[in-house]
Amino acid sequence: MVRVRFAPSPTGFFHIGGARTALFNWLYARHVEGIFILRIEDTDRERHIEEATDIILSDMRWLGMDWDEGPEVGGDYGPYFQSQRDKIYGEYLEILGKKDKIYERDGAIYFRVSQEPQLIDDLIRGPVYRMEEKDFVIFRSNGTPVFHFVNVVDDAAMEISHVIRGEDHLSNSSKHVELFKALGAPVPKFAHIPLILKTNGSGKMSKRDVGALVEDYRKNQFLPEALRNYLCLLGWSPKDDREIMPIEEVIRLFDLCDINKNNARFDDKKLAYMNAAYVKNMPLEQFFDKGKSLLSDFNAEAHYVDQVLTICQEKLRSFGELNHFVSYFFDENFDYDKGAWSDLRKRDPVLRIGEFLSATEGIEDFSEQKLEEMVGKLAEARGVKTGDYIHGVRFALSGRTVGPSFYKMVVIMGRERVVRRLRRALVELEKWQ
RNA sequence: GUCCCGUUCGUCUAGUCUGGUCCAGGACACAGGAUUUUCAUUCCUGCAACAUGGGUUCGAAUCCCAUACGGGACGCCA
């Protein structure tokens, strides 16, 4: 039975690198129908463990990862918080004592290394040999156990079969292999996954980098499926050029031996592209639900909101932009974009807006088709391009030169609102000419 | 400094194990163009890489060695 674990330290943040490590563990467990364990490594008692743990649990759930054993779900190998496993650590320390593998110095307990090269059986990198030269502390002089010790004891006690973790731990693995052997426990298989490098600059991504935290993406309304999909592709690929793919398909194909050896640089542009693709392909019902919750501040009629959302889906790249993208639909006091105006003014916008306004009075049916015909006739009669009307009127109605499909926008706004806004624009833009 | 890992377009990658089908494929980004409605949509086109040097071989992106470069680890942090 494959048993893997993700063992974060509750630092108060859940960063992208940790999320990817968790994801690869989860994918592998689901692929082989094994057990995915979440273990909280809270040996550093100084910190606020409850809140910090909640952040990890919440962000993992947001990304769609569930765990078979761990906090809130329990399991036969608990407790799953290291702070509650002192008794177990004491027992394992005794084993090392009986085998004469440890000694005390300055109040701390040291582990005696063998000074022989240790084999790290790595599924991604192949066999790696590394020798640990110096004895190291496993219990501090204040009586608390150290990471290397608790990590190995827990992996042994929880019968972890595969240790999937970041490559920054590869050098630690020689310590850990020695500990497993000294404890008389089977040495697990290892899979050291490549690191995620900063988008700009050198070195691995750290908590302080922009966009390094999962919560940043939640706040900015990224779709979790998109972030997850992107993370799957950082160091792994289906090898057939597919990129946007359902998680079930990733689970079906995922295997440790297909993970890349080299580090990957985080590319926020590609993530943004993926998020846009997910937004565009969202089922309309889901798009409505998500959109409505974000637009609740506008206090607009539900039907109007639905209509606005419907015409915006194809243009929207991120829900983080939704509020701004549609604000003028609901707010009569929108501003006119001065930069856009300077590009527009050579098209005689005030003249076109006036003509458009007069013409709308002549059509009974305020529909896309009629409006399009109307603009076509106007343009022909005046010898200008239809775009001149569209640009000018869009600006009058929204203060911008970009937005959803023009005729759809006009129809949804409705005659009354359109007329009111065009009149206001004529008065204000007159001064700008 | 010591030890460990890595090196294909600017970025993510396919191809490397099982050398010839690769004058290296896809995607993002970027640059042009098209859609007689803007574009932050869609489509098309273009740009662009096997780190370097040796070796093995009829033949090397693919195997071996060295160098360079990048990354990581060397805590009574995790």
The Cβ of residue A105 has, within 10 Å, a number of other Cβ atoms equal to 10
Residues 6 or more apart whose Cβ sits within 8 Å of residue A25: A4, A5, A6, A36, A164
Which residues 74-113 on A are within 7 A of strand B at the CB atom?
A: 105-108
Q: Distance in angstroms, CA of A278 to C1' of B37?
A: 26
pLDDT digits (tens, 9 = 90+) for A115-174: 999 999 999 999 999 999 999 999 999 999 999 999 999 999 999 999 999 999 999 999
CA distance readout (Å), A335 to A177, A220, A313, A342 = 65, 24, 23, 15
pLDDT digits (tens, 9 = 90+) for A35-83: 999 999 998 666 667 888 999 999 999 999 999 999 999 999 989 999 9
Q: Do residues A5 and A162 make contact, with C-beta atoms less than 8 angstroms apart?
A: no
Give me the residues paired with residue A14 across strands: none
Nearest in space to A71 (alpha carbons), one of A48, A45, A53, A47 = A53
State the complex-level ipTM.
Answer: 0.94
Question: Alpha-carbon distance A286 to A121, whole Å?
Answer: 45
The confidence band for A1, taking pLDDT boundaries of 50, 70 and 90, is very high
The confidence band for A213, taking pLDDT boundaries of 50, 70 and 90, is very high
Q: Distance in angstroms, CA of A177 to C1' of B47?
A: 49
Residue nearest to nucleotide B8 (CA to C1'): A262
Q: Which nucleotides of B are covered by protein (CB under 7 A)?
A: 3-8, 10-15, 25-29, 36-42, 70-78
Nucleotide nearest to A240 (CA to C1'): B14
The confidence band for A402, taking pLDDT boundaries of 50, 70 and 90, is confident
Question: Alpha-carbon distance A223 to A155, whole Å?
Answer: 33
Give me the residues paired with residue A10 across strands: none
Pairing type for strands A126-131 and A117-122 reads antiparallel
